[in-house]
Amino acid sequence: MLAARQDSLATAATALARQLGDSTGLLAGQVVAARRLLATGQQQAARARLLPVLAAARRRAPWLETITLLTLGRNCWGTAAHSQAVRYWRQAWAAAQRQPDAYWRVRTALLLANAGPGYAQGLHWYFIGLRLAEQHDCQVCQADALNGIGYNYSLLGEWALVARYTRQALRQHQALRNVSGEYGSLIGLANLQTQQAQHQAALATYQRARQFLRSSQDSLPVVTGLASTHAALGRYALAKAQARQGLALARRLGSRALQEDVNLTLAWASLGQGRADSAVYYGQLAWLHRPRTAGQTTAGTCQVLAQAYAARRNFALAYAF
């Protein structure tokens, strides 16, 4: 219903721009149409609409140039042309400096933070975004930046800083009644509680996050988090049931990293049940779906395979992992 309402408003705005002879408004209408194509997975059609708009916007309106470049970046994100997303967003950052609306400078900084490369570079951009958001009193952007800072510190294992920024973000999202932001903060808080072995607290936090689910993609962190938490509490049957649900979702969404996480949970649960053969099977699947980037091989996958092979008395493979 929301999408239909947005389409209706976009059509009305385009018709008004045509009636008034507003050429920039007509170009903006093309960007809206491209976003709708992108939302339905039509990347090539979206790109075909955006490139002519970009050429015209560069001559007329820096604000429209910025929005078009941001949308082109989103169009490339997660595709074979993934590296182009960062290139477009860097161009958007340059264009954003030439227009007066600080919001787009903040949003571009946060996208660049999410793009990397590397956690230190991500933190650099998140802090730029946070500073700009504070200067211009954009409270939603401040909360988003705090969430991102907390997440990046979790990847660096800086758990005291994770607690500080994640709790700050959660309070701000709750004050703003920002549902999607509160959901993200709760997932971050549950991850922190898991790392600190506060498994009952993590379980309660994941259950709180459940109320904010709006899509299959949203549900993946909750389902996989619940699975690993049940496994940590020794509830292996429950862990496997949740993990299989998460595995089906991860396959449907094509997420290699989450398939590794879920298979890893299934491997640990199988090992906890004394089923070494199943642990090896799921551990090998986790290994198969590990990230291909050098240096990102998951230590947990190696650990579970080492223990599973040792349980089968295959010590050569156990030592190899």
Burial class (CB in 10 A: 0-12, 13-18, 19+), 292: exposed
Whether the predicted pLDDT of 116 surpasses 90:
no
φ/ψ (deg, to 5) at 154:
-65, -35
For residues 175 and 23, give the distance between their C-alpha atoms in angstroms, rounded to a whole number: 40
Q: What secondary structure does DSSP assign to 18-75, as a single string?
A: HHHT-HHHHHHHHHHHHHHHHHTT-HHHHHHHHHHHHHHHHHH-HHHHHHHHHHHHHH
- Using CA atoms of 220, 222, 228, 229 in order, give the dihedral in degrees to the nearest 10: 180
Same domain for 171 and 230, yes or no, is no
215 or 137, greater pLDDT: 137
Mean pLDDT of 99-115: 88
Same domain for 254 and 309, yes or no, is yes
- Amino acid type, 10: A
Same domain for 261 and 182, yes or no, is no
Same domain for 3 and 17, yes or no, is yes
Taking Cα atoms as reference points, which of 33, 38, 88, 35 lies closest to residue 65?
88
Mean pLDDT of 189-216: 88
Mean pLDDT of 25-35: 81
Whether the predicted pLDDT of 76 surpasses 50:
yes
CATH number at residue 289: 1.25.40.10
Task: State pLDDT tens for residues 223-251.
Answer: 888 888 998 899 999 889 988 888 888 77
Q: What pLDDT shows up at residue 296?
A: 41
Same domain for 229 and 163, yes or no, is no
Same domain for 162 and 255, yes or no, is no
Same domain for 118 and 76, yes or no, is no
Same domain for 182 and 243, yes or no, is no
End of a domain among 180, 212, 244?
212
Q: What pLDDT shows up at residue 13?
A: 60
Mean pLDDT of 111-138: 87
End of a domain among 100, 119, 144?
100
Taking Cα atoms as reference points, which of 149, 121, 122 lies closest to residue 134?
149
Whether the predicted pLDDT of 5 surpasses 60:
no
Same domain for 86 and 1, yes or no, is yes
Mean pLDDT of 204-208: 92
Number of structural domains the chain divides into = 3
Distances (CA, A) of 183 to 177, 270, 300: 11, 30, 26
End of a domain among 85, 100, 115?
100
Q: For residue 105, what are the domain limits?
A: 101-212
57 or 218, greater pLDDT: 57
- What percent of the chain is modeled with pLDDT above 90? 24
Q: What pLDDT shows up at residue 294?
A: 35
Same domain for 201 and 182, yes or no, is yes
